[in-house]
A and B are shown apart, each in its own frame.
Chain A
Amino acid sequence: MRPLFAATLGMLFASFAVATLPNRFLVLILMTVGVLLVAAIPPAGSYKRIAIVIGAILGVMAVGLHPLANAGIPDTLPSEIIGDVCSPIRRGQTSLRFIVCTSTGKYAIRTKAEQPLSYLDRVRVTSEFSLPEPPRNIGEFNYQQWCRFHHIVAVSSAASNVVLLETRTNIVGRFISDVRTWIDTRCHSGLPADTAPLASGILLSITDDLPFELQESFGRTGTVHVLSTSGMHISVLVATVGTILIWSGRTGSAGVSLGLSILVGYASGGGPAPLRAVTSLVARLMARLLSRSPEPWHLLCLCACAAMLRDPFVVMDAGAQLSFLAVCGLIVAAPFADLFGERIRQSTSVVLKVALTLLQGFIVSFIVTLVTAPAVAFHMQHLSLISPVANIPVGFLSEWALLIGAAAVTIGDIPFVGKVIWTLLNGVLQSLTFVANLLAEVPYADVATGVANPHAVVVASVGLVSGFTQLGRKLCGSTFASQPQYYIPWSPSKPLT
């Protein structure tokens, strides 16, 4: 199956690149393809040729049939559109921002804050639409490019007139939207005003109310990923529920976790990172139910295929690229973590155990930072030097914030116990804020990179992933890590009982 996955993925990327994209973006695609293929192709074996042919056919079909592949900017911009609100509503101080999906493309809308709108509503928008503007300085966020990759054909002015035509009855979507709103409201009612936005950020990736200074601190320390729903969030929640339900038997808990992971992924908005995490988890849990043991590279390729089939433009998304590279980093770091894990298990001294655990965290964090560094340097134009260190306390605290936050939201109304949980959550969030702000103040916590050469990024990313894979084999005696087991303690690769 490995060559099939690899070839399919490769052909998906390649055919899409050749068919629809300007050449200058080809290198970005090749970066992702290179990283994945270097990992996946070497042990392909004798089925490689057949796999490539099948992959090519699948790739061309997938790309050719995909409705988004040939989406383009219309010749004339309309003054009125009718469509569905197809993004979460982002509420600013004076305006609402959301995306409306129509049959001809997506439109980014800004309107007055008092509009009573919600996800999936059918609306009529009258506005002066314009094409997204290019960046006005070097290094700035390229909104025009972002819009193109997200199929947004035009943006509206602040003076949009939005008329609600119909409140849609997508029960699941509405339910998820209501759950998100409910969690956000609970966070704001249970926590002080200074920590509630951080709770919403960690639990729901809602950063609208989060102080810009704090967002900066996370950015400077290379830990901003804790504010976006990612594999960590889904894995931690699903693993916790699975562990709690262990009394019902491993198969039973896997079944419940399976459903929960899909629900959480859907609730988080279905971006590339949650989609990757959910696809991976579902495949793992399915494998567990079928008593199989999947390999991490297989899972990553499968996730890339799923993300590509949902939206071929995902390969252009900086978040998606970084998410996949971070998982590559976790996979190549796993043998080193396993090596330390063995030492930790063998050591009898508590102090040594703690020291080794911290060192293990640092090594993993360091490798992931290194593997993602070229892409971060290219996309963000700055690189956090303190990230390998910062990720240890910030990652630890945010995982606890996630777990305690989930508990507070669900059982926070119980007298006394609820108060204790909210207080505990507040303490964790305060600590997280303190640590992030403290580390952000370290001189040269992050450095400007000025990397503008995508070829260098491709070469460096491929080189780093290959290099760490080889190093893992040489030092730790395994070609590939069996699983990043330190991450999900009840990994399916463990023998079933």
Chain B
Amino acid sequence: MFRIIFVCFVTTALAVLPGCGHRALTVTCIDVGQGDAVLVSFPNGKHWLIDAGGNPAGDTEAGIDPGHRNVLPVLRAKAIQSLDVVVMTHPDEDHVQGMLAVARHIPVGRVYWNGFEGSRTEQSVRAKFAQKGTTVEAVSVGSRTLVGDVEVAVMSPPLSPIMGTRSPENENSVVLLITYRDKSILLTGDVEAEGERELLRSAQAELNEISLLKVAHHGSDSSSTPEFVRRTHPGIAFVSCGKRNRYGHPSLDVIKRFERVGTQLYRTDQCGMLEWTSDGHSEAVTTMLPCNENALRGAQGVEN
């Protein structure tokens, strides 16, 4: 009998052990409704979370916080016990509100933010991290780090912050460029037209031919300028936006810009969670919900 039980336990352990032999770079765009949350899992087993979604109105009513509802379930389903780095691209509610849940439940090694004091939620998130003993650090262009053999470079905010625009917080979002062998990923936060111009000016050739682009500002027409789309020329682009959102994201104009350069566009409002995986040479995208070709191309996009 004990032998049978032993065999049961061994079988269970082998079947349950998740993520063994994981050697790919994975970018998961979590569907948090109208907001952003991107999980980057590196080949060496490290995990970075870039934003954690939130209700744009800042509503913290129990049960609707995307941190609890969407982000934590994904981390748990992936058996992620801790995050090495958390990045708060900018202080808008729809990017940072969910961080409160993350701060409470998941040990975090380090927090990067763009140095822009923002909403009360953003301040309480930083305070929560600081209370937990996590290092909170403002970053700007030029910072680079190696995570295994993957390079992560901070492309924005610029050293002299962009001011005097409609939304300086958005313009000065933390933008990350992740490079893994032949593949590069650009995560843009909510950066808008002026920020994109600054990016193109400072980054030069680094931003040409991006493999995966997280479309800025949920596909708003204040971002993804024709010049930016043409230069970055992404093969695949993810749009994180809410189903039937009141802002009309993503803009039909933006969808057409990406269509013109042949980008394969995936939207969380139509496909649910999006996941891009690459070994540095080949790449694959999986979606949580069935996504037909029309949905990918954005043929059902909302006119702004």
User: Which A residues form the contact surface with B (CB < 8 A)?
Assistant: 93, 134-141, 211-212, 215-216, 220, 374, 377, 380-382, 443-444, 446-453, 455-456, 459-460, 462-463, 466-467, 470
Contact = CB atoms under 8 A, between A and B. Distances in A.
Interface in B250-304: 268, 272-273, 288-289
Contacts of B159: none
Contacts of A470: 1-2, 5
B204 interface: no
B16 interface: yes
Nearest to A138: B77
Given A137-B288, A140-B73, A448-B75, A459 B8 contact: yes
A134 B271 CA distance: 11
Counting chain B CB atoms within 10 Å of each CB, the highest count among A212, A446, A448, A466 belongs to: A448
B12 A460 contact: yes
Interface in B7-42: 8-9, 11-12, 15-16, 18-19, 30-31
B12 A443 contact: no
11 contacts: A134-B289, A136-B70, A137-B31, A141-B73, A381-B73, A448-B75, A448-B80, A448-B81, A453-B16, A459-B8, A463-B8
Contact of A462 (B8, B18, B73, B107): B8
B181 interface: no
B63 A444 contact: no
A136 B81 contact: no
Nearest to A445: B105
Contacts of B19: 450
B74 A463 contact: no
B77 A139 contact: yes
- A-B pairs with lowest CB-CB distance, top 7: A139-B77, A450-B79, A463-B8, A212-B62, A139-B73, A456-B15, A136-B272
Contact of B76 (A93, A134, A212, A449): A449
B16 A456 contact: yes
Contact of A463 (B5, B78, B105): B5
Nearest to A380: B76
A220 B15 contact: no
Given A460-B9, A467-B2, 9 more contacts: A136-B70, A137-B70, A140-B73, A212-B68, A381-B73, A448-B75, A450-B19, A450-B79, A453-B15
A438 to B, nearest CB: 14
Given A138-B78, A382-B76, A450-B18, A459 B288 contact: no
Interface in B61-113: 61-63, 65, 68-70, 73-81, 104-105, 107
Contacts, number: 111
B78 A93 contact: no
Given A140-B70, A381-B76, A459-B11, A451 B18 contact: yes
A223 B69 CA distance: 20
A137 B73 contact: yes
B55 to A, nearest CB: 14
Contacts of B81: 444, 447-448
Nearest to A141: B73
Contact of A450 (B2, B4, B76): B76
Contacts of B9: 460, 463
A381 B74 CA distance: 9
A448 B78 contact: yes
Given A212-B62, A381-B76, A136 B12 contact: no
A444 B78 CA distance: 16
Nearest to B12: A460
B15 A136 contact: no
A220 B72 CA distance: 12
A460 B8 contact: yes
Contacts of A377: 16
Contacts of A381: 73, 76-77
A151 to B, nearest CB: 23
A74 B11 CA distance: 42
Contacts of A446: 105
Contacts of A140: 69-70, 73-74
A136 B73 contact: no
A490 B16 CA distance: 42
A135 B75 CA distance: 15
A193 B145 CA distance: 50
A450 B8 contact: no
Contacts of B105: 216, 220, 446
A77 to B, nearest CB: 19
A443 B273 CA distance: 29
B15 A138 contact: no
Contacts of A136: 31, 70, 268, 272-273, 288-289
A443 B105 CA distance: 9
Nearest to A217: B104
B16 A138 contact: no
A460 B10 CA distance: 9
Nearest to A374: B12
Given A138-B74, A374-B12, A211 B5 contact: no
A138 B8 contact: no
Contact of A448 (B15, B61, B76): B76
Nearest to B9: A463
A374 B16 CA distance: 9
Contact of B77 (A216, A220, A452): A452
A462 B105 CA distance: 31
A372 B3 CA distance: 22
A364 B230 CA distance: 65
B124 to A, nearest CB: 13
Nearest to A463: B8
Contacts of B2: 467, 470
B104 A216 contact: yes
Interface centre among A140, A141, A462 (most CB of B within 10 A): A140
Nearest to A207: B62
B12 A138 contact: no
Contacts of A463: 4-5, 8-9, 12
Nearest to A455: B15
Contacts of B68: 212, 216
A449 B79 contact: yes
Interface string B170-192: 00000000000000000000000
